[in-house]
Structure 1
């Protein structure tokens, strides 16, 4: 592990431990179905403590980013993985296209929505925006066996707004319309709902064309903010 990763994760451990809240930790773990132990830090406290740990440290290299992320993923408490997601997003200009391999490793390890979603929208999405050729990796993930990679592909354009590749988004959603897992159905609805902010007519047309294939959850989420069509 690099010196930067060793120092940073050591500082985080000390800073987080000072602010741990055992009572809140029990509730946080229960909210996440007891999949992970928690220190009991609220998001504002975690981020404030992270800023203290980061003070005076240099911007990481790509290799150091990977070391920090993997070191955080090796820790038991979920706040370390949540920090790593923030850290990667804040340094998204550093890594090159090959860093998607590291992102995939994080996505399929200790997987749950609280890490997968920021990795999708802010890390994978940020890398694809900066390195457009890597969109083919999203195409591969959209057909993957791992549902969290599929969810990432569907959500990676969540912050793109008018720059969204609508054909690709609709293609991913149509291909996975019949997926049985809640998290994929929810992602389809979420991604479509977000794109409806930019092009509501296109989303409405897609919903009409795919009405027999999309789950009720996906349709309901996608249409949540669409105004009804007047006769």
Structure 2
């Protein structure tokens, strides 16, 4: 399947007038087709079931390059699967996308794909660690979004707890970053953590909560 064929299939699900609303909502200048997310889920599920891994990665790469909003979401959804073997090419492609993030919706979909690849091979966290020092805000934010599985684990291993503490260190280093999206990501991570590891969430807020913006502090403590 070529990117043109895939785009044509996506476009068949466009809803009249929806593209204009999406453009106004996301505030990023790129093409929008007006296709709802459930339709994209159905389309990409079919592609994942029929395309071999190599073809899925190639199609994801080509769809991303179109810069069409729904195509970039579809590219990420093509790689959002727990079991992909081999998955090195998928992980490299997701990492290539990170410096190109420019909106939360596309970034979050790509990070959801990355979460599967990261939990499949936690040694990849060494790559993510470098993102925390990037001058690109969306890359710094991605380091928290892609590691959210470690905030949500009910029965973490010792290795998982070490990763959890490492990411909490990254979140602490972001506490004085005034960017709204960074603050939101910190609040999101601690909020999710509080439902599974109340002690660590409370300890984080006691040590760093005063340095967060008020809205992020409220978000982090929502369930405490």
TM-score by length of 1: 0.83
* 1:60 equivalent in structure 2: 53
Query: Would you say the 8 A contact 2:132–2:170 is kept in 1?
Result: yes
* 1:200 equivalent in structure 2: 198
* 1:3 equivalent in structure 2: none
Q: Distance in 2 between matches of 1:149 and 1:95?
A: 25
Aligned pair partner of 1:177 in 175, 178, 197 = 175
Q: Is the alpha carbon distance of 1:15 and 1:223 closer, same or farther for their aligned partners in structure 2, counting shifts above 3 Å?
A: same
Q: Is the alpha carbon distance of 1:159 and 1:190 closer, same or farther for their aligned partners in structure 2, counting shifts above 3 Å?
A: same
**CA displacement 1:58-84 (0-9 Å, x = unmatched):** 3222xx444222211122421111111
Query: Would you say the 8 A contact 1:92–1:123 is kept in 2?
Result: no
Q: Which structure would you say has the larger Rg?
A: 1
The unaligned stretches of length 5 or more in structure 1 are 1-6, 227-231
Aligned pair partner of 2:26 in 32, 44, 50 = 32
Query: Would you say the 8 A contact 2:11–2:35 is kept in 1?
Result: no
Alignment size in residue pairs: 216
Q: Distance in 1 between matches of 2:48 and 2:219?
A: 41
TM-score by length of 2: 0.86
The farther-off stretch of 33-42 and 200-209 is 33-42
Residue 106 in 1 paired to residue 100 in 2?
no
Q: Distance in 2 between matches of 1:191 and 1:224?
A: 12
Q: Is the alpha carbon distance of 1:155 and 1:50 closer, same or farther for their aligned partners in structure 2, counting shifts above 3 Å?
A: closer
Aligned pair partner of 1:167 in 165, 179, 188 = 165
Q: Is the alpha carbon distance of 1:204 and 1:36 closer, same or farther for their aligned partners in structure 2, counting shifts above 3 Å?
A: same
Instruction: Give runs of aligned pairs for residues 106-185 of structure 1, distance below 5 A.
Output: 106-120=97-111, 122-160=112-150, 161-162=153-154, 163=156, 164=160, 165-185=163-183
The unaligned stretches of length 5 or more in structure 2 are none
Aligned alpha-carbon RMSD (Å): 2.2
Query: Would you say the 8 A contact 1:107–1:115 is kept in 2?
Result: no
Q: Distance in 1 between matches of 2:44 and 2:117?
A: 23
Specify the SS of the correspondent of 2:79: helix
